[in-house]
Amino acid sequence: MAELHVVVVTPEKTAVDETAEFAVVPLYDGEFGVGIGHTPFIGKLGHGELRLRSGGETTRYFIDEGFVQVRDNTVVVLTGKVVHVDDIDVKAAQAQLKEALEMVPTTDDAFAQRDRMLEQARAQLHASRRHF
Amino acid sequence: MAKARALDKRRKSIRNIRKITRTMELIATARYRKAMERATAVTDFTQRITQIVAQLSSTGAEAQHPLLETHPTTEKGLLLILSANRGLCGGYNASVVRAAMAQYRQWTTAGDDRSALELTIEVSGTRGNSALQHRGVAVDQLYRDFDDQPGYAEVEAIADKYIDAYVKGEIDRLDVVYTRFVSLAKQEAVVETLLPFGSLAQDEAAAGEVDYEFYPSAEGILAEIVPMSFRAKLFKCFLDAAVSEQIARMVAMKSATENADDMIKRLSMTYNRARQSQITNEIMEIIAGAEALSQ
């Protein structure tokens, strides 16, 4: 049976190199499922959860922006940061969320930065919470 | 006796130095391997980005991003110099500083077609910092936490700072002075202009055989890929510098060990000679003494 080959590459190392039956990647505006035989696709990723289903087991990772390329049953994720959901630093994420909520942005740039921080922190917390 | 003993003492101290240089060589070798692995990983990453870019540009999309635009006038430059935190690595730091000084002089003096740039100097590594200050160059920012394994997160923070400054017009140009790794036998200090970000590397040959779907759109993705590609490029500079530093240290320590070997050999010979002549001397004295008694 055909399988999906999933590779997550960061500038530091090839973090994940696995096979799966089904993968869910976090696009910037929602989740995106990739099954076997998916059409070639390139998309922009946001903060969120990457899920790989293989043999009834699901492995979850947190991805912090990047790009995804799907081709010939190979899913390549290019990202700056990837962590297994168990290894998410919940305290740091909570601190970041708190800090972002207390920010009082006045310029467009500051607003954008705050939104990005909020989104990043919430996505991390969400990904870690789902697991319990 | 005095001379032989002094020679022996020197030989001992050289043996100790040899032990140290030999150990440093081995450590540098191990670190070099690790650094090399990381450099290979980032190459893999940039290659994949290039692939995507090639796919995108084959659709005829044009990238639009502030980082790709050259500012109308170049007045404020930023020079980032990647040197080592520690010495004992041959000419590594010296050649980086030499390249940096050449660039510095070129920028700070007005040319035919341009005036002198307003320069910000940022240095990674304490060695480069002290060398520049010795030459009277004011260093605005010093990074000292990059050793043999620069972390992406730290480099990313610096890259984001530069992106921000460039977009806001606080800098018009960014040059990085670092030691590029060409091969195990060759590393060279180079000055590379990272901003304005030249064209995204495009490999036409690889493009066009598969029809991709793009989300959001080819243009949108291209614009997003520019900063990521810039970060990866800056990270690659740091990794190259780290690899080159370890190689430089390896080579320097290897020749230091060999020199120590030669010195030990020469000293041993002199020592043996001195000892022998001392023994001969003593025998002569004893014989002379015995003869004097027997008379």
What SS3 class is residue B116? coil
Check pLDDT > 70 for residue B6.
yes
pLDDT at A79: 92
CA distance B157 to chain A (A): 11
Gap between the Cα atoms of B242 and B38, Å rounded: 10
A83 interface with B at CB cutoff 8 Å: no
Q: Which residue of A has its CA nearest to B41?
A: A13
B75 pLDDT band (50/70/90 cuts)?
A: confident
Q: List, as ranges, residues 49-78 from B with C-beta within 8 Å of A.
A: 49, 51-52, 55-56
Neighbours of B280 (CB within 10 A): 10
pLDDT at B114: 67
For residue B220, list chain A residues with Cβ-Cβ distance below 8 A: 44
User: Which residues lie across from B174 on neighbouring strands?
Assistant: B78, B195
For residue B151, list chain A residues with Cβ-Cβ distance below 8 A: 12
Rounded average pLDDT over B47-59: 81
B35 interface with A at CB cutoff 8 Å: no
B201 pLDDT band (50/70/90 cuts)?
A: low
Name the percent of chain B lying above pLDDT 70: 94
Note every long-range contact of B89-95, with CB atoms under 8 Å and residues 24 or more positions apart, other chains counting: B89/B245, B89/B248, B89/B249, B89/B252, B90/B248, B90/B249, B90/B251, B90/B252, B91/B248, B92/B179, B92/B244, B92/B245, B92/B248, B92/B249, B92/B252, B93/B125, B93/B127, B93/B128, B93/B131, B94/B131, B95/B179, B95/B188, B95/B189
Check pLDDT > 60 for residue B146.
yes
The whole-chain average pLDDT of chain B stands at 87
CA distance B92 to chain A (A): 24
Q: Which residue of B has its CA nearest to A42?
A: B214
Beta-carbon-side half-sphere exposure of residue B188 (alpha carbons within 13 Å): 5
pLDDT at A34: 93
Q: Report chain A (132 residues): mean pLDDT per 10 consecutive residues.
A: 87 89 91 91 91 89 91 91 87 87 84 84 82 50
Rounded average pLDDT over B159-187: 90
A30 interface with B at CB cutoff 8 Å: no
Q: List, as ranges, residues 148-177 from B with C-beta within 8 Å of A.
A: 151-153, 156
Q: Which residue of A has its CA nearest to B55?
A: A42
Q: Which residue of A has its CA nearest to B56?
A: A42
Rounded average pLDDT over B26-40: 92
CA distance B149 to chain A (A): 10
CA distance A56 to chain B (A): 29
Higher pLDDT, B197 or A70: A70
Neighbours of B98 (CB within 10 A): 14
| Tokens read off for A40 | 């070639």
B208 pLDDT band (50/70/90 cuts)?
A: low
Q: Do B212 and A42 touch (CB under 8 A)?
A: yes
Chain segment B246-284, per-residue pLDDT in tens: 999 999 999 999 999 999 999 999 999 999 999 999 999
CA distance B207 to chain A (A): 13
pLDDT at B116: 75
What SS3 class is residue A121? helix
The size of the A-B interface in CB pairs under 8 A is 79
Q: B124 and B113 in contact (C-beta within 8 Å)? A: no
Query: In a mutagenesis test of the A interface, which of B50, B212, B226 is the best target, namely the one with the most A β-carbons within 10 Å?
Result: B212
Which amino acid is present at B174? L
B225 interface with A at CB cutoff 8 Å: yes
Gap between the Cα atoms of B5 and B8, Å rounded: 5
Q: Out of A41-55, B176-190, B195-209, pick the least confident.
A: B195-209
pLDDT at B59: 76
What SS3 class is residue B122? strand
Give which of B62, B121, B127 is closest to B88, Cα–Cα.
B127
Chain segment B114-139, per-residue pLDDT in tens: 677 788 899 999 999 999 999 988 89
Query: In a mutagenesis test of the B interface, which of A42, A75, A76 is the best target, namely the one with the most B β-carbons within 10 Å?
Result: A42
**What structural domains does chain B harbor?**
2-22+254-294 (1.10.287.80), 28-251 (3.40.1380.10)
Give which of A52, A79, A62, A77 is closest to A120, Cα–Cα.
A62
Which amino acid is present at A94? Q
